[in-house]
A = this chain, B = another copy of it.
Amino acid sequence: MGRAVVLVECVPNVSEGRRPEVLAAIRERAQQSGVRVLGLSADPDHHRAVLTLVGDGDRVLEAAFAVAVAAVELIDLRNHQGVHPRFGAVDVIPFVPLGTTPMDYCVDLARRLGARLGQELGLPVFLYEAAATRPERRNLAYVRRGEFEGLAARLARGDDPPDFGPAVPHPSAGAVAVGARPPLVAFNAVLGTSDLRVARAVARAVRGRDGGLSGVKALGLPLPSRGTVQVSMNLVDPERATLWRVLEMVRREAARYGVPVTATEVVGMIPLGALVAAAREFLQAHELEPSAVLEHALWEAGEGDSAFR
């Protein structure tokens, strides 16, 4: 008998959202490491894709490393134009504890992966969120400030050296942020306008750092291929600042400009608790709990295998 599985999610964000063959190759590398790729969401305007890897921590670390190797090999940021901020070919690699896995375990994974990415791939590595080694680096936006284009000058200043790897950018792949964090929901609302100022104003209104909801990060981004704009959000406390509450606020703020929400999308995975919290609100089902979801109850009762076989 081996040791028990320590279940971890890892959500590498790579700076490629347009070439399906590159994304297929990256996914293939992850799968060869023996983990499940639960999802792969690519966006051509963001020119970015999000992979969701799940499995035992050690295997997930290997898969994340394989994703990074492939991304560094196949993506050249010197020719990269997208609307989403980025400073690396493999831009961000967060580890997320699932089930009873402790956060400290994911912090350890982030440090182990960071050391390898620095040493073996020559990437400057910045640890962020729960893995951060300086308080200001908990914030990913701070870590990524100046993006790929500003990276060489920033590293040359020497006052903010990477946690691992060289203090110069990788020529084509930039740098990487590796972290540990709780689950979040990546949630984008598409607005019925091409006016980027509206998306930016709505983002400012809803995000915590400018007086909005404390569990929400938000950016207004253009979607040139669709001729529209988007409020791109991370809900970091989705059982309190829920999808419903956030979307209602986005709708109200956009309505001040006479602009409707035309669609939304969840990028990557949504935890059941976040979905139920939103449903509790929009359905006025004040007592609704995840235990009322049949599949959840079956799994907790140990009948899940039968239900899904």
| A residues lining the B interface (CB < 8 Å) | 4-5, 7, 9, 36, 38-39, 52, 54-55, 98-100, 183, 189, 243-244, 247, 261-266, 268-272, 275-276, 278-279, 282-288, 291-309
**Closest 3 A-B residue pairs measured CB to CB?**
A269-B294, A36-B301, A38-B297
Which of chain B's residues have a CB closer than 8 A to the CB of A265? Answer: 285, 287
Task: Please determine whether A282 and B244 come into contact, CB atoms closer than 8 angstroms.
Answer: yes
Partner of A269, one of B264, B297, B302, B304: B297
Task: Please determine whether A39 and B292 come into contact, CB atoms closer than 8 angstroms.
Answer: yes
Which of chain B's residues have a CB closer than 8 A to the CB of A304? Answer: 299, 304-305, 308
Task: Please determine whether B272 and A306 come into contact, CB atoms closer than 8 angstroms.
Answer: no
Partner of A299, one of B52, B189, B291, B295: B295
Nearest-Cβ distance from residue A249 to partner chain B, whole angstroms: 13
Partner of A275, one of B9, B275, B300: B275
**Interface of chain A, main secondary structure:** mixed
Known contacts A284-B263, A305-B304: does B295 contact A296 (CB below 8 Å)?
Answer: yes
Which of chain B's residues have a CB closer than 8 A to the CB of A279? Answer: 243, 275, 278-279
Nearest-Cβ distance from residue A53 to partner chain B, whole angstroms: 11
Task: Please determine whether A7 and B307 come into contact, CB atoms closer than 8 angstroms.
Answer: yes
Nearest-Cβ distance from residue A266 to partner chain B, whole angstroms: 6
Nearest-Cβ distance from residue A280 to partner chain B, whole angstroms: 10
Which of chain B's residues have a CB closer than 8 A to the CB of A297? Answer: 38-39, 52, 54, 269
A303 to B98: give the CA distance in the assembly, Å. 11
Which of chain B's residues have a CB closer than 8 A to the CB of A99? Answer: 306-309
Task: Please determine whether A270 and B294 come into contact, CB atoms closer than 8 angstroms.
Answer: yes
Can you spell out 20 A-B residue pairs with CB atoms less than 8 angstroms apart?
A5-B306, A7-B307, A36-B303, A38-B298, A39-B291, A52-B297, A54-B297, A54-B301, A99-B307, A243-B279, A247-B283, A264-B283, A264-B285, A265-B287, A268-B292, A269-B297, A270-B293, A275-B279, A279-B279, A304-B308
Nearest-Cβ distance from residue A184 to partner chain B, whole angstroms: 11
Which of chain B's residues have a CB closer than 8 A to the CB of A270? Answer: 292-294
Task: Please determine whether A295 and B271 come into contact, CB atoms closer than 8 angstroms.
Answer: yes
A144 to B287: give the CA distance in the assembly, Å. 30
Which of chain B's residues have a CB closer than 8 A to the CB of A262? Answer: 284
Task: Please determine whether B303 and A54 come into contact, CB atoms closer than 8 angstroms.
Answer: yes
Which of chain B's residues have a CB closer than 8 A to the CB of A293? Answer: 269-272, 275
| Besides the known contacts A263-B284, A272-B293, 6 further A-B residue pairs in the complex with CB atoms under 8 A apart | A54-B298, A270-B292, A270-B294, A295-B295, A295-B296, A304-B308
